[in-house]
Each structure stands twice: as C-alpha cells, then as structure tokens.
Amino acid sequence: MHNPVVNARISPNGHLNILSRLEVNALLQVSQGDLYPIFRSSSLAVLNYGDYLDDGQELLQRFPDYDIRVIQQDRGIKLDLFNAPASAFVDGQMIRGINEHLFSVLRDLAYVDAAILNNSAFNLGTSDGITNAVFHILRNARVLQPDVPPRLVVCWGGHSISREEYDYSKEVGHQLGLRDLDICTGCGSGAMKGPMKGAAVGHAKQRNYTGQYLGITEPGIIASESPNPIVKDLVIMPDIEKRLESFVRLGHAIVIFPGGVGTTEEILYILGILVNPANAHIPFPLIFTGPASSAAYFELVDSFITKTLGPEMQKLYQIIIDDPEEVARQVVRGVGKVRDFRRVTEDANFFNWQLNIPLDFQQPFHPTHDNMRTLNLRKGQPVELLASDLRRAFSGIVSGNVKATGICAIEEKGPFELRGDAAILNPMDVLLAAFVEQKRMKLPTKEYNPCYRLIAS
C-alpha cells in the first residue's frame, strides 16, 4: 500500500528556539551518532499521528525511506524531514502539536545523553542518583508545576480496549476535568487517550484554560504507541523504569482502566512500592475502574494479585465498577489527603520526594532470554521483591509483543521462558490466557502468537 510522504524543513515552536552553540552541538549528535536509530524511530512515531499500531517494526517498514536530520543555523537549529508521513501536515504546514512533540523527542534524547548518562554528577548506580536524574529530566522538559496544588491524576490502561471501555475512560476523564483535575498518561491510544479527551471537555466547561495533559513514554514504547493528539506536554524518559518512576513521583493519584500486560506491569510496579513498609505512612490513592462489562476483568486481576502477592494487597486499592462520578469523588478525597500530607511534611507538591522506591525497581531490566529465564518467580521472599520480578516478567512480555528488540529476539530464539512456582505461574497463565481471549495482547485486528512459555517447577 502506498503511503503519501513529504519532504520538509521545520523550525521549533518551543524553548529549543534559543540555544547556545554548545547546546546546538549536543542536538546535532542526536542525528549523527549512536542515538540516530532511536531518534529516527521515535520521530517517525510522532509523525504517524492518528494511525495507531502496536508494532514499531511495521511502522518502519511502512516508511522505509524516512529520514530526519538536525540542521545547524546561526539562529539555532531546524529539522530536515525526508519521506515523512503526509498526515502530519495540513496544506504544506506541519500540525503545531506534532511540531512540538517532534522537538520534545529531540530535546529529551539530547539532554539525557549529554547531561545525564555522560555526566559524572549523576550516579545511576544508586537509588538517590536515579531519582535525581528523573527529576532533572522532568525539570528540563518544563513539566513540573511548583505553584499548582496537587491535582495531577495518572491514568493507566491498555491501548487495545473495547469501545465501551474507551468511552468509559473518557467519561471518567470528563468527571475529573469537571473537578479541575489534570491528566497524565502513557500518551498513546485507548485508555491513554480517553481520560485526556474527557478531561479536555470538562476543563472547557469549567473555563479552565490551564489544564495539563502530560504524556510520558520511552524510546522502546513510543514507536508502537504514537502520542495521541490531546497530549500537550510530551516527555521521553530513557527507559521503562524511569518512565514508571516519573508517573509515581509526579502523580497525586492513579486510576487504572482495563488493559493487558503493560497495564499489569504498571499495577505490579505501584503495588510493589506501596506495600514497602517505608511507604506505609504516605497517602497514595489507587483506583481500578471500568464499565459493567469489565467487572470480570477486574475480578481476574484482583484474583491474580491475591494469589501471587497475598490478600493484604487488597488494602492498597479500591475497585469501582461503572461509576465515573464516584471514581472522581474518591480521587478528589484522596488528593485532598495527599495535599494535607505534603503540607504537614513540607514535601513538594510537584514531585513526591518522600516515596521510597528501592533500587531493585529502578534499575533497567533488559528482557533477554537469559534474564527472563532467571527471574525469581517463587514464594518465600519479601512480597515487594516478588512484585518486582513479576513486574519484570510482564515487562519482558510487553517487549516481546511490541518492541522491535523484543520482537527480533523472539524471532531469533523463540519464546521467552518463565520458570517458577506453580502457585505463581498458574494464576499468571490464567490471566495471560484471558488477555489473549479478550484480545488485550495486540490490537483486535491482529492474531496473537505468544512470545512466552511458562514452566512450573
């Protein structure tokens, strides 16, 4: 199938239009060195506005001749695009939101490489060092809001959801927006788009023109989950772990909609943190919700959590079915407790410094066949450590499903092997089988071939 393409030279519409020569040189390296493949795939995903895929390789195959280059000029930089998707342009002019997102990709890749990874001031081998890096990346992206009271709600959920689930997520977002709450998601389609779209309507009704619509992603995800058009501020974190930490450091509450393995990974991440005794005193509202048709889904998720991590975990979250207004009311109540706690403890409203995130949750996990095989999916260890390795297992399945590196690894060596206790793997098998049956693994138009094999021992 022929995909219309255009060539163009574009200028930044954001803070990249005022740069020093040193900063320009750092940006030039993004399109000339080791970062180029990531820049090319991430920028193509941004340009692929409105055409949602869940396979980064397929997108690159659709536009094999696409190229992007940073061009130095006396007044700063421009971007040269070759064979770019024509859908990103209107009457020859790039859509402004896409322009902003494109330069956000460049900004974050360059900053992380020059100011974080190659800066001895950041010790990424320690927990504090990683948190410090996360803070600096978010501050450089200008998404921290120091003069705003707690009101940012993180919404998690799948891109492959039913229309009813999408409409429900939109109505929850609408109710949140009517209460002047802001939205942060993974920036893609489905349950990442619905809450933002609903909140935009709620904000408009309340004449709220300062609402935040924040999308946080990472290079391996963005290629398969292009930013939705509601996202105003886009941030590219260097890896999935820093992306997850960004959500919980920035957010004042989390609402989780139906999803698949990626959503389960996020659930295990936040539960593993909240169950840590060091965080027992910190209020953090966590709500699972969906329409009446999703009740069985949440029963399944709740069963998986209790059978693997224990029934005590149920104290950490609420399940609210088919009641968007009640979800919003509970979020408002929970955010009020967060606001009071931050005031008493003198913690920042814009970044949750007090939350203890162990190094085990922060270090990047590379889902190779060997690393997946050696995960400790067994009872008899602290529950937060089991949650951490379960999170990694689901992260590996996400990689095998949608990330180019994971897909290539599966094609070369076959499915990942996950080994552990039957008490862990049997509930996991039930959950994953339900995800396949409900078409939550891939977009509904695609047949799913499992990228994993569970081996109980």
Residue 171's domain spans which residues?
A: 145-345
Do 158 and 276 share a structural domain? yes
The percent of residues above 70 in pLDDT, for the chain, comes to 95
- Identify the domain boundary among 94, 113, 132: 113
The percent of residues above 90 in pLDDT, for the chain, comes to 75
Do 384 and 341 share a structural domain? no
Q: How far is CA 448 from the centre of its chain?
A: 22
Q: Which residues of 384-435 form beta strands (DSSP E)?
A: 416-420
State the amino acid at position 169 in one-letter form.
Answer: S
Q: Computed over its alpha carbons, how large is the radius of gyration of the chain?
A: 21
| Structural domain contains residue 125 | no
Comparing CA positions, the residue from 89, 405, 431 lying closest to residue 218 is 405
Residues 64, 111, 365, 446: is their CA dihedral positive or negative? negative
Q: How many domains does the chain have?
A: 3
pLDDT in tens, 213-247: 999 999 888 877 789 999 999 999 999 999 999 99
Torsion of Cα atoms, 258 then 263 then 268 then 269, to 10°? -130
> How big is the CA angle at 262 (ends 167 and 110), to the nearest 5 degrees?
105
| Structural domain contains residue 138 | no
| Structural domain contains residue 128 | no
Take residue 195 and report the two structure tokens written for it: 């809450």
Give the pLDDT score at 119. Answer: 87
Do 369 and 340 share a structural domain? no
The residues near 107 (Cβ < 8 Å, ≥ 6 apart) are: 14, 16, 140, 141
pLDDT in tens, 419-440: 999 999 999 999 999 998 888 8
Strand order in the sheet with 233-236: 233-236, 213-217, 182-185, 152-156, 253-256, 286-290, 318-321
Residue 174 has pLDDT above 80, yes or no: yes
Do 254 and 322 share a structural domain? yes
Give the pLDDT score at 120. Answer: 86
What is the pLDDT averaged over residues 37-61?
78
Longest dimension (CA), the chain: 64
Do 447 and 336 share a structural domain? no
Q: How far apart are CA 309 and CA 312, in angstroms?
A: 8
| Structural domain contains residue 351 | no
Considering only residues 73 and 40, tell me which one the structure prediction assigns the higher pLDDT: 40
Considering only residues 58 and 173, tell me which one the structure prediction assigns the higher pLDDT: 173
| Structural domain contains residue 353 | no
Reported as a pLDDT band with limits 50, 70 and 90, residue 163 is very high
Take residue 429 and report the two structure tokens written for it: 């098998």
| Structural domain contains residue 354 | no
Within a 10 A sphere around the Cβ of 210, how many other Cβ atoms?
A: 9
Q: How far apart are CA 275 and CA 312, in angstroms?
A: 9
Exposed/middle/buried for residue 202 (C-beta within 10 Å: 0-12, 13-18, 19+): buried
Residue 417 has pLDDT above 90, yes or no: yes
Do 339 and 407 share a structural domain? no
φ, ψ dihedrals at 312, nearest 5°:
-60, -25
Considering only residues 229 and 441, tell me which one the structure prediction assigns the higher pLDDT: 229
- Identify the domain boundary among 113, 137, 154: 113
The pairing of strands 253-256 and 286-290 is parallel
Half-sphere exposure of 335 (CA within 13 A, CB side): 25
pLDDT in tens, 27-42: 777 777 788 888 998 9
| Structural domain contains residue 432 | yes
What is the pLDDT averaged over residues 183-191?
94
pTM: 0.93
pLDDT in tens, 195-210: 999 999 999 999 999 9
Q: Please say whether the beta carbons of 9 and 95 come within 8 A.
A: no
Give the pLDDT score at 450. Answer: 87
Give the pLDDT score at 52. Answer: 60
How far CA 324 is from CA of 218, 329, 337, 348, 351, in Å, comes to: 30, 9, 20, 29, 27
Do 327 and 208 share a structural domain? yes
Take residue 114 and report the two structure tokens written for it: 């020059």
Do 91 and 36 share a structural domain? yes
Take residue 41 and report the two structure tokens written for it: 């795939």
